[in-house]
Each structure stands twice: as structure tokens, then as C-alpha cells.
Amino acid sequence: MKKASDLRIPFTWEERRPIVLDRAMYIPGYYDLHDRWGRLDWADPQFFGNDKPVVIEFCCGNGQWIGAQAQKYPDWNWIGVDRLFERARKVWAKIHRENISNLFVVCADALTFVRHYVPMKSVFATHVNFPDPWPKLRHAKNRLVNREFLGELSAILTPSARAHFATDDFPYVEWMLNEFSLSPGWKPIHPAPYYLTNIADFGRSFFNDLWMKQGRTIYHLEYTHG
């Protein structure tokens, strides 16, 4: 039985480079030779080996939500992305422990992965569940969902794809609505105020459960592009 600690990066920091390891991909930080790789091919056997529709969850944490989704929807290929190696490792162990053949994990910064590795117009849905809120205004530049990310995201989506965002943090909701309004081509699926709250069939994630237990409202934004 594989454990999270069995996933190891087989080179030193100085030798760092992207690598695919048994249903995980590692894209190191502080690395800028991404163009050596080019965009990936989901049908390559080291990824999925088929052409089923691809769904990506950015900021997947320990993989509780995406693991359950992948098992519930086996006709889709699921990719969890988290920049923390300790979290990606847990998802990797889950993939092997629960034998989830349509789930793949990527340890990378979400923007880097989208900008350099994800094939254009190849993704049928994306999710960002509980991105780090960076509540202080001077830290807002660190928020993942911004114009730069939305610009890159729009290029990898298929024409009818949906992009879904969940958060308990209302200032982040207001921030996202503003970033969407300033990003060309994005259309909200839900009428004003452009989000739903506490949707029943969302599924479970560590942070969803934590905030629900505390009685917080969860906001869900959904957009299409094109």
C-alpha cells in the first residue's frame, strides 16, 4: 500500500525540472525553463491514455473533494493541482490507495501550470475551491483569481466549459466579481448578484466542512468564456 511519503522527487534542488512520476507531475518553483516542455497531451499514457473530457481543480488541498468527484464521474478525467508538495503527495497516495484511475495530481503553481503546460482549449470544467483569501489589502496581489489568471484560464477552456469558484470569504467574492468584469469574454451563469450560496450537491472538502460547521455562508460563482 503506497503512503504519501513514498512519493519522492528523484533529484536535488539544483537539478530541478518538471517530472512525471506514476500519476503525479511535479513542476518546481523558482524554475523558468517551462518552454522546454511545451504543452502536455492528455491522451499520452503517462497522463490518462484516453480522450475523455478533462476537469481541473486548482488548490485541491488533500484531494478529498476531487477524489470523490473522480469516483462519482468516471467518464471524466480529473486533475488536482496544488503547489504544496505535502498536499500533492496526499492526493497521490489517495489515487493509488483507492485505485482512482481517472485522477492525476500536479504539484505546481496554478498559474504556471495553466500558462505553460495545459493544452489550449482542452479543459471542459475548472474548479477553485477555497483559494487562500489573503484578507489584508496589501496582500491582495497574491490572490490566485485575478485578471492574469483569468486570461490564461480562458485560453485552456473549451467553448462551453464552466469555471466554478467557491469561497467563504465575501471580500474575495467582491474581488472576483470585479476581476471578472475587467476580463474580456467572461459571462456569469447565475443572474445578479452572480453567485449562489450553500449549494446542496457541492460535495465535501476539508475547508467546506470546516466553514459549514462554523455556520459560514459559502459562495459559488460560475462563469463561461467566449
Ligand X SMILES: C[S@@+](CC[C@H](N)C(=O)[O-])C[C@H]1O[C@@H](n2cnc3c(N)ncnc32)[C@H](O)[C@@H]1O
Q: How crowded is residue 21: how many other Cβ atoms within 10 Å of its Cβ?
A: 14
Nearest by Cα to 120 from 190, 40, 189: 40
The site for ligand X, by CB under 6 A, has a size of: 21
* Closer residue to ligand X in complex, CB, 43/217: 217
- Considering only 3-11, 33-41, 78-86, 96-104, which stretch makes contact with ligand X by CB under 6 A? 78-86
Binding letters toward ligand X, positions 79-118, x by CB under 6 A: --xxxx--x---------------------xx--------
Is 132 an active-site residue? yes
Beta carbon of residue 25, minimum distance to ligand X (angstroms, whole number): 13
- Distance from C-alpha of 185 to C-alpha of 220, rounded to nearest angstrom: 19
- Considering only 69-77, 171-179, 202-210, 217-225, which stretch makes contact with ligand X by CB under 6 A? 202-210
- Distance from C-alpha of 96 to C-alpha of 77, rounded to nearest angstrom: 15
Beta carbon of residue 159, minimum distance to ligand X (angstroms, whole number): 25
Residues that bind ligand X (CB under 6 A): 58-61, 65, 81-84, 87, 109-110, 129-132, 144, 205-208
Which residues are annotated as catalytic?
Answer: 132
